[in-house]
Structure 1
Amino acid sequence: MRHACRSVAFRRAPAPVFQPLLPDDPDEVAGYRLFARLGAGGMGRVYLSYTPGGRPVALKVVRPEFAEDSEFRRRFSQEVANAQRIHGLYTAQVIDSGTAADAPWLVTAYVPGPSLQQVVREHGPLPVRTVLLLLGGIAEALQAIHSVSVVHRDLKPANVLVAADGPRVIDFGIARAADATALTGTGYRIGSPAFMAPEQAQGGAITPATDVFALGALAAYVASGVPPFGEGPETAVLYRVVHEQPDLAGVPAELRELLLRCLAKSPEERPKPAEIIEVAREHPAVGGQLRFADNWLPLPVSTEITRRSDLPRTPPRPAPAVPSAPPVPSAPPVPAMAPPTVPVTVVEPPSGAVLPPQGAEAFTAPLPPPQPTVQLPAPAVALAPAPAPAGKRRGVSWRTLLTVALVMALGGALVGVLLSRGDAGPKTGSSSGNSGSGQQQAVDAPTTPGADDSPVTAPTGPDSTDTPGGGVSATGGPTGWTPLVSKVELDIPAAEYSSEAYRVDLTAGKLIAPGTNGKWVLGLHNTGGAGGSRANTFVSDGDDDSDFAVITDSSVTPGQCNTALDTHPDSDLTFGHAGAGRLLCVRDRSTHDIAIAAIEVADEQTGEVKLSVSTWQGGS
């Protein structure tokens, strides 16, 4: 009962629900203006948007690697067509889609509430009455899904959102198409092992009874705080699902009979959704009515729903207004003649002089762009103004205007050169090919307390000189976390790989020898079968269990990791999925510490692993 011992002392402040858009996020998708990020997972990014009539929606955009797969597009189109036929009150309605777009997308109704996984992780098991109401609502959602000959196949706590008026079953279309495309060909089953029916685990026929089994496992988790078939490596969990009875010791006695029927090994012995609704309605704790009144949820969960209902109404990146130029005094026409020669005097800047930052605004009116043929002189220049002609009235001559333009052209470029020279020392985590990119500059910038999350970047390829996990400051950290480990590069060599391989101590940021215990450890596990074949998997084998999420974006922040772990946790941690060029988010379930491993090498055959680890301690 490790989960029952969670202490609120480790609980950090809730992460922001509506995260700002990142530089590589679009401003709009197919006419939908994006207002915030809601999360990112293994198959895409989720944004907050609105319909033309003002209703909030969740817009999911597929990752580029899936968009380029023709098999994924075929499956995605089929899944979206099926989802659009489902019209249950306890499902998140599919509103719009772009299956043929360069980056396929899907729009569903926005549900202002956390997932059941977040609720249990943050607040513990739920009361019997709440569990019964959830059973009734989700069973009604399954009725709507099954009525159009669709089986969900991945019903789990992360795929059920909790709203003020009941649960909402989500995750139609993208996830199933992505899972089928990426995993079916390699022998894996679509679904999450802890909530997978025996026939699904064995590759048998998938029927509506498969979803009933998942509902029973989900309800047992919500009522007790632990999955009925335990946790650990996928193979161990799947073995227990197929061959062992569920452990319902932590489930209240009045719920066990119904859940045991749902978790029957034989699909024919499981109740139908209509029967589940009837049993839940007649339970004394409900009183004959399945009504989602104001008090159906514990107060902390209701408070969280209220927080998620405070939607942003202003786009985060409004188009910048074009400043209007002030009136220009009338001047005589510029004669068509060559510009005068301006004398240039080279002056070295005094010691300790501070130059203005590059791009600092010195004038309010638009200035002419620098001339491409101007050759830069030595580090600083002072231009001697041409003497004013005698007998002329005071005013702005064309010679003066040309001189000012030349000063600004030279000065602006020169300041940039000097700043670059001052920055020319060695830098960790930047490559010569990318040092000028805006994204790399943002990654290399040190963080300060209270600043936005500092992103971790994935390796850019085998020939890249980028440091995996670059962009994490050792002295600062994002809001809500304290940095413990910053960009520590570790190498588990192939020669050392075995059941007693070196492992990574995530808290200390170092390798620990075989037989050495660590508080929070990321290791390797060989789940290969006969004949010496390997199926290497990342596992957490420390004293506390962990949650995982595989990120295929080029960078991720601790806050985004936390959201991905809540909304799209991963159970497939094999090298084929959590491989080179990807980021592995790990969260300690007791302390809520976050670790991000940027994977550079994950050799399926030899077990060699090269990665860079950054770790943050959970805030209060």
Structure 2
Amino acid sequence: MVNSVDPSGIFQPLEGDDPRVIAGYRLTAKLGSGGMGKVYLSYTPGGRPVAIKVIRPEFSEDTEFRRRFKQEVQSAQRVQGLFTAPVIDSDAEGPSPWLATAYVPGPSLAAAVAAHGRLPVPTVLLMVAGIAEALQVIHGAGIVHRDLKPSNVLLAADGPRVIDFGIARAADATSLTSSGVTVGTPTFMAPEQAAGSTITPATDIFALGQVAAYAAIGTPAFGEGTSHGVLYRIVHEEPDLTGLPEELRELVTRCLAKDASARPSVAEVIELCGAASGQTQLRRPEEWLPTAVAADITTRAAAPAPAQTPPPPLEAPTAGAPAQPQGLPAQPPVQPAQPPTQPAPPVAPVPTALNHPQTPPPGFGPAAYAPTAPTAPVAGGPGATGLTATGPMAAAPAPQPPKKKRKGLVTALVLVGLLAFAGAGGGLVYAVMKGDGQKKSNQAADNKKAKNSGASPSPTEDPTASPGGDESNAPATPAQDPTPVDYKNINLPDEYHLSLSDEPVKPTNSDNDTNADFQYTDNSYSDDQVDTETGKLVLLDAGQEGSLDTCRSDTRFTETILTKQLTKGAQMCLTTNYGHVALITLKGYSPKSGPSSYMTVDVRVWRNAVQPKQDS
């Protein structure tokens, strides 16, 4: 927790009415507040900073808002773009709805202009092109941002990031809108939005023109003042573009057309940026921001997650003793006058559930998970990935919250019951033995397949062993990481695919094999793409480490990634239903003048790195 005032004013200390923990995320500082809620800094168990936005109470009390909020966040979680901050966790059902996104260490466009004035033309063009690419991905997921403005554009070292996309739509349906509350920021609204007409992707294009003008001029194109005055000018008057550089005039004026149908598409915006830059394709240099703005990035780099002393485990109260409130230190028991002749058996820790209706995605949020000094891992829990069950993410001591039932544990309990009551359960014994035999049969088939592929077979499941399975999307990891195998410079042609079980991994014609782990398609009727038919893909962010641990923990799953989202050097994690994990790095594409279409990739494979799905 921040105990002193940050000289930069970026990381503000928590105040009396600020929460200390949100669903297991321990809050360390306040980043800011807006019309929808407050934003706090927290950390994942692995130490990566995240921004948590907690919705204001007046919206939280509206049932329709909660329904829309849940729907919009689910849509936002499907957005995977190089210029968007991914949504990694959320809860629309708790006392205060919230969502967590990756923390971006960079000033907002609003803060940069306020501190350093207008931006140079090359920076504006690169920023607008990046925002346009973000809108391309957002609109592709069926979302209209509705509230694109300078404070929702963050300037990172490698390009802009668009945040809060689609969330404003949840507020449109609330009872607050009928009482005079305006959804969105009036200064950057489109005419149809100000008039209450139909909202389309073109609405975001108008806002993008406003953002571009603001960055280049230093003031809003339709001026400032009362909301009613600004909205009137947006609907009825022309923008004031005095001081706008000539290179940006066509781009801005076309985006600010009153008629939505006259505005350029996202693709046309990118073309206009390229033409204005005097290049056929924009190239983002290492230092795309002015020196003064770039210096602000270092001041916004979040400090490492604060270390915590692991709390003592909670123990079950003895019979007749009052229950100890959670979060308070246990009182030492009163010693009896005469010690008992036989020592009492140790009391097992009592698991308690956090009051949180949604379990966060694996690798995020639980209060009981955090990196600490080596301790005994919880069976079947985070101990398999190096995280312990006594971490300090919660403000008060809290054992690991119960999750979905572990299959190994259920089987073990059934077997114990059968041993105790064998005489009365013949039919049930047969059912359990039959199910266990089927498991072993499936395991043998998997081992045979792994043997044929050159990989080591997975061990036979022992139902009496410590439970390690989990029915969540993130599969359990083996006790020891497999050795990776690298395959360099694979030319993957159109309509061919890679199978991670092959040795070596090589392109295979899709007509001959239905197990397309990774496939490239050069579509003539739609956008080119890569996809998987046997697992899940994740497009890693720029700068994100391409490792087995990253591929295991990242849960931004998709089955299809458009190639226009991929730049040279982009990395993708692929996890198949058969338990194999791969890191795929894009090296480039075939020349347009060549006789065939293909993409070149490097593939690093960890075979049997996660628990395969039972139905695979």
Output the TM-score relative to the length of structure 2. 0.48
- Max Rg structure: 1
